Amino acid sequence: MRDANVFGTRKCLPRMSWSVQNLYNLWRRSMYPDNFYRATASLPKQRWISKALVRAFHGDFINEKIFKRWYLPPTIPDVRPKTRTSLGDTLALDDFAGRNEQIERNIKRQKEEQEKGLAPVGSLMVSEVERRIDVFIFRCCFAHSVYDARRMVIHGHVLLNGRKHSNANTRLAPGDMVSVDPAVIPFLRDPPASKGATKDPSESSDAEAAEPPDASVTPHKEGLTPFNLPPYASPWIFLPAYAEVSFQTCSAVYVRHPTARPGYSEIATPYDADGEIVRLAWEWYSKRRPKIRSKSRLATMPENRR
C-alpha cells in the first residue's frame, strides 16, 4: 500500500502532484541533486537509490512486482539513426544523375546529429506508465494529482471513447479519446465558503457592507464556468507532445506513444532524462527483471489496448 506521507520533507521524493509540499520537494531535488560520482555508497546502493527516486515520481502507487512484470520494456529502444554511406560505389552514378547536392545535405545532417548526441532513451523506461489512463489525465491538467485522477476513473467520472470506464490500470492505444466530467475537476468549481459565512445574516450584514471584497476569489459572470487555479500550479501547467487536449470539452486524445530524439525526451521527469539517476535505475531493473510470459501470467496482465 502507498505510504500515507507521500510529501514528506525528510525523503524529499517528488510526486505527480500540484501540492505545495511536493513543489518544495522538487525544489530541494533540483537545487541539491545527489552526485553519485562523489558518493561513498557502493554501486548497488546507488542503483537502489536511483530506482527509489524514479519510482517515487513514475507510478509510486503501482506495486513493485507488478511494475517489473508488466510496465518495464524488454529493452530500451535504440532510436539512433542507421549509418548510411553517402559516398561509395554509386559515386559515378550519383554524379551522372546530378545528386551531388543531396549527398552534401545528407553529410551535413549526419554531422549535425553527431554534434547533438544520442537521444535520451533511458527515460523511455517509464513509457508504459505514461500510457495509463490516470497518468494521462494528470498530464492533460484535468487533475491536480495522479491520485485524484485515479479517483476520477474509479468513481466513473471518465469516458473512454464515449463509454464509461472505471479501470484505472488501462493503458491507452494511439487514437483513444478520454473525456472527464467537468463537475469533478476541482479548479472548475467555486471555491469553498469561508468560515465566516456561517454567521447570523442580521449581525454580519453591516460588517459585510463595510469590508472590501476578497481579492483572492476571482469573480465570474453568471452562466460561465468558474476557473480557480490552485496556488503554485504554474510549474505543472504544460502539455506533452503526444496529447491533443481540448479544454472546452474537457477531453483529450492520446495521439501516439511518447518517444525521444537527440537532446529531448517527451516524458516529463524531475531528473535529467539522460542523467546518471535514470541510467542507474535502468541498470537496477535490468538485473532484476522477472522472466515470465506464461498463459497463466498473461491472464493477469492489466488491460493493454493496442
Task: Give the pLDDT confidence score for residue 1 in this predicted structure.
Answer: 41
Task: Give the pLDDT confidence score for residue 220 in this predicted structure.
Answer: 58
Task: Give the pLDDT confidence score for residue 209 in this predicted structure.
Answer: 47
Task: Give the pLDDT confidence score for residue 35 in this predicted structure.
Answer: 53
Q: Is residue 142 part of a domain?
A: yes
DSSP at 184: G
Find residue 179's DSSP bridge partners.
159, 251
Q: Is residue 29 part of a domain?
A: yes
CA pair distance 239, 260, nearest whole angstrom? 16
Long-range contacts of 3-12 (CB under 8 A, 24+ apart): 6/60
Q: Is residue 214 part of a domain?
A: no
Residue 276: which CATH number? Answer: 3.10.290.10
Q: Which residues contact 262 (CB under 8 A, 6 or more apart)?
A: 113, 116, 117, 118, 119
Q: Is residue 88 part of a domain?
A: no
Task: Give the pLDDT confidence score for residue 113 in this predicted structure.
Answer: 67
Q: Is residue 87 part of a domain?
A: no
Q: At what angle do helices 43-57 and 276-286 cross, to 10 degrees?
A: 100
Task: Give the pLDDT confidence score for residue 128 in this predicted structure.
Answer: 92
Task: Give the pLDDT confidence score for residue 34 in this predicted structure.
Answer: 52
What parts of the chain have a pLDDT lower than 50? 1, 78-81, 86-87, 201, 203-205, 207-210, 212-216
Q: Is residue 266 part of a domain?
A: yes
Residue 305 contacts residue 173 (beta carbons within 8 Å): yes
Q: At 218, list the grid cell.
A: 476571482
Q: Is residue 212 part of a domain?
A: no
Domains identified in the chain, total number: 1
Task: Give the pLDDT confidence score for residue 58 in this predicted structure.
Answer: 94
Task: Give the pLDDT confidence score for residue 298 in this predicted structure.
Answer: 72
Residue 186 contacts residue 148 (beta carbons within 8 Å): yes
DSSP at 18: -
Q: Range of 161's domain?
A: 20-77+121-186+232-298
Q: Is residue 109 part of a domain?
A: no
